[in-house]
Chain A
Amino acid sequence: MAEYREIIFNSDKIQTDDYFVNIGPQHPSTHGALRIVAKLEGEIVQSIDPVIGYIHSGIEKMCESLSYPQLIHLTDRMDYLSAHMNNEAVCLCIENALQVEVPERVKYIRTIMDELTRIASHQLWWCATGMDMGAMTTFFYGLRDREPILDIFEETCGARMTFNYNVPGGLMFDIHPNFQKRVKDFIRYFRKKLPEYDTLLSGNVIFKERTKGLGVLSKEEAIAWGVTGPSGRASGYSCDVRKLHPYSAYPYVKFEEKLATDGDTFWRYQLRIEEMWESMKIIEQLIDNIPEGDFAVKMKGVIKLPEGEFYQRVESARGEFGVFIVSDGKKNPYRLKFRSPGFSNLFVLNELVKGVKIADLVAIMATLDLVIPDIDR
């Protein structure tokens, strides 16, 4: 008996082992086929190891055998929530390499579509975040407001999500005659509905208590780990490509780059809500002033890039998206690399979750806004 007492109360002799929990790849809170191996001590996370590759489809290899206009449709399937930005990045890269100046009309339409895509993406992220924390209501409200945007896309581009609307040198079609009216209707509608989001989730005391001060990322860490987009800006890291390296019609509009200093889960959440307001402001400045003109410039039948290396960065809904093309002068790229924002944002997760409870791991992961095909490519 005395021996047992000694073992129980003398902690030196008790041996513990690491406890591993495997989350995914089929798990509703990992937003796709992400697998996370979490090392726990009791309920406290010690470290995690993200295992990716469950949707790896070899897009970069496939692009080496496709011509430039053909490979654009694959970028839709990478980050399907910011499909238009990905399309645009490839098109801008090709246009810059060939030194083609697209008409002003194209720039305006691309910017409006970018911002609509950003709003739609953030709405869906809002649904998913609410669901990860156990609030089913957000799912219905966010997706209800997303449907009018999808209608606008479908009327103009012909598809709801993967629309392949950009071609090198411009757009595939002109905008639909109803486009401006529909966009204005939507902005009017959404200005009324967005405060509801605050009432439902951001103002909710349970949500606030759960997210404030959780998963803090400092500015230096954010830069060193390459965390961009709203997740990086929540730490005070000014990384908005729209401001730093303006493209399309962003030089013509006035908008604010929202920054926060706390870098916790709540501010990563709050910044995305504020970005939706900013996006609406950008659309309102542009929608009435779309200049007349062509919707595409005439390109050669076979597009061949000059020899060299070209890099183009755009701001997608998740952060800085980059396209790196190595061309050897043929009609298909020699090497094509997509710098996806989610890839860098995922690997900082290990730093954020040390010492939090396993239920909070899901909350932190939700506010990093991961889209797994964007990471896996």
Chain B
Amino acid sequence: MKALFNYIKEVLGGFYTLLQGLGVTGKYLFTPWNYVTQSYPENREKLQMFERFRGEVIMPHNENNEHKCTGCGLCELACPNGSIEIISKSILTEDGKKKRIIDKHIYHLGMCTLCNLCVRACPSDAIIMGQKYEHAVYNRSNLTKVLNKPGSKIMEGIKE
């Protein structure tokens, strides 16, 4: 008799634990202030990333199309997976000296792990981490970018 009683108690207790779990989920069904879902494409204008968020490497240019990059190649050395390549060219300055300046700062976004080591290595703060996160493309070659804009030149007063 006692065994039967215990058995029934066990079964009912089991049901009670199941109902408790249902209670938790049921509670959230009727408390709309607990909803956490974000609606991404709708809130796209308002969506703000955190200021340290690392989306891609960019090179800021000012309004005269000038950047701070001297082409020293420290970021290329610091990058652990070779996603930065610097192609430099030599020009003649006004006083007749040969000088190497940057031709192209090539950045492979498809290989970049956004580890921030290149930004730390840069002595003149020429490259920073950008906030853009929407990068999806149909063709892989579109992920290779040239960071210095065409016709840009180095800002005055940046020493190598």
Chain A residues close to B by CB (< 8 Å): 66, 69-71, 73-74, 77, 137, 144, 147, 151, 154-159, 162, 164, 172-173, 176, 196, 199-201, 203-206
Contact A69 B17 (CB under 8 A): no
Q: How far does the alpha carbon of A71 sit from the alpha carbon of B24 in the complex, in Å? A: 45
Contact B54 A203 (CB under 8 A): no
Nearest-CB residue, chain A, relative to B13: A205
28 A-B contact pairs sorted by A residue (CB < 8 Å): A69-B78, A70-B78, A70-B117, A71-B80, A73-B80, A73-B113, A73-B115, A137-B25, A144-B36, A154-B50, A154-B53, A158-B50, A158-B52, A158-B53, A158-B54, A159-B53, A162-B113, A173-B52, A176-B52, A196-B24, A199-B21, A199-B23, A199-B24, A200-B21, A203-B21, A204-B18, A204-B21, A205-B18
Nearest-CB residue, chain B, relative to A154: B50
Q: How far does the alpha carbon of A272 sit from the alpha carbon of B80 in the complex, in Å? A: 35
Residues of B within 8 A of A66 (CB): 80
Shortest Cβ distance from A265 into chain B, in angstroms?
Answer: 18
Shortest Cβ distance from B124 into chain A, in angstroms?
Answer: 16
Residues of B within 8 A of A159 (CB): 53-54, 114
**B120 CB–A CB distance under 8 Å:** yes
Most buried by A among B18, B20, B50, B120: B50
Given the contacts A158-B54, A173-B52, A137 and B116 also touching, CB distance less than 8 Å:
no
Q: How far does the alpha carbon of A203 sit from the alpha carbon of B133 in the complex, in Å? A: 41
Contact B17 A204 (CB under 8 A): yes
Residues of A within 8 A of B23 (CB): 199
Residues of B within 8 A of A172 (CB): 116, 120
Most buried by A among B14, B20, B115: B115
Q: How far does the alpha carbon of A155 sit from the alpha carbon of B54 in the complex, in Å? A: 10
Contact B24 A205 (CB under 8 A): no
**B129 CB–A CB distance under 8 Å:** yes
Residues of A within 8 A of B13 (CB): 205
Interface residue ranges of B136-157 to A (CB < 8 Å): none
Shortest Cβ distance from B85 into chain A, in angstroms?
Answer: 17
The 0/1 profile, CB within 8 Å of A marked 1, for residues 1-37 of chain B is: 0000000000001100110110111000000000010
Q: How far does the alpha carbon of A74 sit from the alpha carbon of B115 in the complex, in Å? A: 10
Contact B116 A164 (CB under 8 A): yes
Nearest-CB residue, chain A, relative to B38: A147
Residues of A within 8 A of B25 (CB): 137, 200
